[in-house]
Amino acid sequence: MTEVVLNEPLSQVSLLFVSSALAFLALALVLFSFQLVKLSTVEAVSSEAKAASSGSTMVDEKIATDKMTATERAGFILLWVSTAILGVGVVLRGVAAGRVPWANMYEFSISGAFLILLVYLTALKIKDLRFIATFIAGFALVTIFAAVSLFYVEVQTIMPALQSYWLVIHVVVAIMATGFLAVAAGMHIAYLLKASGRAKKLFSHFPELLQLERIAYRFNVVGFVLWSFTLIAGAVWAERAWHRYWGWDTKEVWTFIIWVLYAGYLHAMATRGWNGKRAAWLGLVAFLSVIFNFTIVNLFFKGLHVYSGL
Amino acid sequence: MASSFLSRLSFWPRFFWRQLTSMRNALILLLLLAVAAVPGSVYPQRSADPNGVKVFYDNEPELAAVLDQLQLFDVYTSVWFSAIYILLFVSLAGCVLPRTKIHFEALRARPVQTPKNLERMPEYLSEAGDSSVLESAMVVLKKRGFRIDRQQESISAEKGYAKETGNLVFHYSLVGVLLAVGFGGGFSFSGQRVLVEGDTFVNNLASYDSFSPGALFDEGQLEPFSLTLDEFDVVYDLANRANIGQPIDFIASVSADFGQTQTASDIRVNYPLAAPGANVYLTGNGFAPVVTVFDGDGNISYQGPIVFLPQDSNMTSLGVIKAPDALPEQLGIIAFFYPTAEKLTTGAYTSIYPDPIAPLMTMNVYTGNLGLDSGIPRNAYALDTANMEMIAGRDGPVAAIELEVGQSADLPDGLGSVRFDGLLRFASLDVAHNPGGIWVLLFAALSLVSLTMSLMVPRRRVWVRLAAGGKIEFAALSRRDDPNLTQVLEEIVQEIRSGSKK
């Protein structure tokens, strides 16, 4: 491969952007939390009453508090701003390294957080998913914070094993899958909290349980297809790099486990008595496995996927 | 009656079959499979990390024996793991086969009879209209790709058969993947060979340092070809201060003789060489210093390159030289090689850079019995010093021998001398072939396409009926989750209206 000249000053600028995104994200999170606290003091207008007033027989999908409060609007503006700043940080990191910015854990985390925010903000244009803004902002915040504080490494040239176009394909699809599955996980949490019957007033502002379940399903479906692709692309790459398409390397094992868990979730959704809470728990466990795979397996399990850079 | 007797006789098998093929059981088996896969990531596996198993045995022999009994070092070929996935696939077949029959019939059959009470459907609209609406509906629904059945005063239409087709094909593809993995694994092989610069490898069983064949492998699968490692190059990052010494490319330049064709090519990580009947992969590399050992009588008792195993990222390497023919006594040497040597304050050496800038070899020399005649196979990379005496080395009677390239040194007590003749590199090559690989990929790709089809295509039924009193009814039903059903029916009705007005 041709020698890449790394640009360390530029990677410092990138870090500056990533860190400031963190600050804006924290502010957004505060506002979203504040909004939740406000919502928890008033009961939402019941859906029947709304249905009666709008004249439709359909259950309205939108949450009861249709109108954005000033707090909420400020929160979303901050979320957009932090996503844009983070995006600049991610791009600069790639420019500084002279390659795609997802070759180690730090880079995977910031790119992942960026894509999760992007998936969420895009989905928001199509559907009213404001109610999980706190979860999304919180999740992205924790991811970026971990990236900056725990996983940070200076730009590096990548080892020969990673010098492949599969790094672009395999990893970017893995990140996208994680983005969709993360949004679904937010829905599962919302579902389980609402179903538990606690904080009735707050969750009266959330969509109906059936609605939450359906949204989660849709995001999981997309995530599952992308995850399947990640698995296949990984096997193709492994055949080139490690002379076998599958060897039960720890990372392969966990990619497989996650795939099977989500397959289980899809079956649960089609099985009477298993949808609802059980499916939600299953989806959540599956997503926790995704997180486990990225953190614990990367850092503490022995295997061939040694790219954390730590 | 005979039939009732038969049905009683077949009750239990039927019962188990029904249990096994129920969706709930498929779900439970899936969850079991996920859980059963976990220990394989916790304990070292013989297939992926045989050395890890050895180390585990050395550290905790008793626990290791118990784990081994439970097949926890061979999770993915264990009885219990196999049992789960075999049951899962039996359950899959039991579920998918009858569904295939039903689906085939549905594909040939007309859409269902229009239900009596359309207003009970999840989507329902009604308005005034006449039979022209039905004519317009025929056109609109046909254009939208619905399969249509014109019944007396109504139209029954259905589309999205691809959903079930996709679902079925997906499950069959998984069976295909499993079969391709199984048969491919049977006929596969992979062999490892360490090749020093200048050495030639001929593709036959005897040439491999280690070889792992599948259960159905036949030696005839090894096509005759030979490879010579002309040169091995490592490219280091020299441009970026923080990364200096980081290898950015490994290049094994080889001359290959494939019988009909002779080629010169490079094997690199991620870029294997396609040889007849197998791919040749680059999996490792290191230094192979060339050493000559003279015995006490002045005869050459060893000469040639020695493969040194790298110990750290700066390529501090460890090698063992055995001279069984040396006189008066056998000689054994444990040698360390430092590509760029630097002396520590303790007097020991370390390598501070992986490329040979200031190469140095140090030797601990032993004399005595190498133990090669006892019939026990010996590891070429280890020296058993139990029956040997150290004559030079750290804490020995004489300090360790230090040699730069080209230098030689006498051994103490007139036992001979050693010479560091030169420095070569070696490459670890892996010759591997799995004929199932391409089939696994094809079935996996098919499963991905069909999965997407199954999850994304909506299956919808639409009915239009001319009811009594000049009323037209529209209704729609969807299988499972379909967020757009309302909107789709509205669009269809809109199109039908504008069609009937023309």
On the question of pLDDT at B302 being above 70, the answer is yes
Q: Which residues contact B265 (CB under 8 A, 6 or more apart)?
A: B253, B254, B256, B273
Give residue B228's pLDDT band: very low, low, confident or very high (50, 70, 90): very high
End residue of a domain, out of A156, A186, A204: A156
Same domain, yes or no: A15 and A108 = yes
Which of B28, B30, B85, B126 is the mutation pick for testing A, counting most A CBs within 10 A?
B30
Q: Phi then psi for B331, rounded to 5 degrees? A: -115, 140
pLDDT digits (tens, 9 = 90+) for A259-274: 999 999 999 988 878 8
What confidence score (pLDDT) does residue B481 get? 66
Note the pLDDT tens digit of each residue in B19-70.
767 788 889 999 999 999 999 999 999 888 888 899 999 999 999 999 999 9
- Say yes or no to pLDDT of B423 above 90: yes
Domain end: A107, A130, A156, which one?
A: A156
ipTM of the complex: 0.88
Same domain for A230 and A264, yes or no, is yes
pLDDT category of residue B327 using cuts at 50, 70 and 90: confident
| Same domain as A73, residue A132 | yes
A173 & A100 share domain: no
B242 touches chain A (CB under 8 A): yes
Q: What is the band of B273 on the pLDDT scale with cuts at 50, 70, 90?
A: very high
> Which residue of B27, B181, B448 is in closest CB contact with A229?
B448
Chain A residues close to B24, C-beta within 8 Å: 271, 273-274
Select the residue of A3, A158, A263 nearest B239 (Cβ to Cβ). Answer: A3
**How many distinct structural domains can be found in chain A?**
2
Residues β-bridged to residue B150: B155
**How does the average pLDDT of chain A come out, rounded?**
87
Task: Tell me if chain A has a CB within 8 Å of the CB of B51.
Answer: no
Q: In the listed set A114, A140, A156, which residue is the last one of a domain according to the structure? A: A156
Segment B67-80 mean pLDDT:
94
Give the domain range for residue A44.
7-156
A46 and A130 in a single domain? The answer is yes
Q: Which of A170, A219, A244 to mutate to test the interface with B (most CBs of B within 10 A)?
A: A244
Answer yes or no: do A151 and A16 share one domain: yes
Same domain, A108 and A91: yes
**In the predicted model, what is the mean pLDDT of residues A62-88?**
84
CB-defined contacts A:B, below 8 A: 149
Indicate if A149 and A26 belong to the same structural domain. Answer: yes
B433-440 mean pLDDT: 93
CB contact under 8 A, B271 and A240: yes
pLDDT digits 0-9 by tens, B361-395: 999 999 888 877 766 666 778 888 888 888 888 87
Q: Rounded distance, CA A295 to CA A298, Å?
A: 5
A-chain CB neighbours of B432 within 8 Å are 243-244
**Is A130 a residue whose pLDDT tops 70?**
yes
Mean pLDDT confidence for A274-293? 93
pLDDT tens digits for A188-201? 999 999 999 888 88
Check residue A265 and give its pLDDT: 95
Distance (Å) from the C-alpha of residue B49 to the closest C-alpha of chain A? Answer: 9
Query: What are B454's two structure tokens?
Result: 């199954």
As a whole number, mean pLDDT of residues B203-215 equals 91
Is the full-model pTM beyond 0.90? no
Confidence of residue A51 (pLDDT cuts 50, 70, 90): very low
pLDDT of residue A57: 41
Q: Based on the domain organization, do A62 and A147 belong to the same domain?
A: yes
More confident residue, A62 or B65: B65
Q: How far apart are CA B113 and CA B423, in angstroms?
A: 85
Quote the pLDDT of residue B501.
66
Assign B408 a pLDDT band (cuts: 50, 70, 90): very high
Mean pLDDT for the stretch of residues A120-134 = 91
pLDDT over 50 at B164, yes or no: yes
From the list B30, B44, B430, the residue facing A243 with the nearest CB is B430
Pair (A254, A288) in one structural domain: yes
- Asked if B243 has any chain A CB less than 8 Å from its own CB, the reply is yes
For residue A56, pLDDT beyond 70: no
pLDDT at A62 over 60: no
Instruction: Give the residue with greater pLDDT, B480 vs B332.
Output: B332
pLDDT of residue B154 exceeding 80, the answer is yes
What are the residues facing A217 on neighbouring strands?
A: none
How much is the pLDDT for B63?
93
Q: What is B425-470 written as a DSSP string?
A: EEEEEEEEE-TTHHHHHHHHHHHHHHHHHHHHS--EEEEEEEETTT
Structure tokens at A161: 């094993």
| Chain A: closest CA distance from residue B80 (Å) | 16
Q: Which two tokens stand for residue A186?
A: 């937010």
C-beta atoms of A302 and B45 within 8 A: no
What's the burial of B435, exposed, middle or buried (CB within 10 Å: 0-12/13-18/19+)? middle
Sign of the CA dihedral running B476, B480, B486, B487: negative
**Is the per-residue pLDDT at B343 higher than 50?**
yes
Residues A149 and A162 in one domain: no
What is the tens place of the pLDDT at every residue in B274-300?
999 999 999 999 999 999 999 888 889
Question: Is B52 an interface residue toward A (CB < 8 Å)?
Answer: yes
Minimum distance, in Å, between the CA of residue B416 and any CA atom of chain A: 43
pLDDT at A155 over 60: yes
Pairing state of beta strands B154-159 and B388-392?
unpaired
Is residue A1 in some structural domain?
no
Tell me: do A147 and A232 sit in the same domain. no
Q: In the predicted model, what is the mean pLDDT of residues B344-360? A: 90
Q: Is residue A80 part of a domain?
A: yes
Q: A226 lies in a domain?
A: yes
Does position A77 have pLDDT exceeding 50, yes or no? yes
Residue A110 has pLDDT above 60, yes or no: yes
In 3-state terms, what secondary structure has residue B374? coil
Asked, for residue A2, whether it belongs to a domain, the answer is no
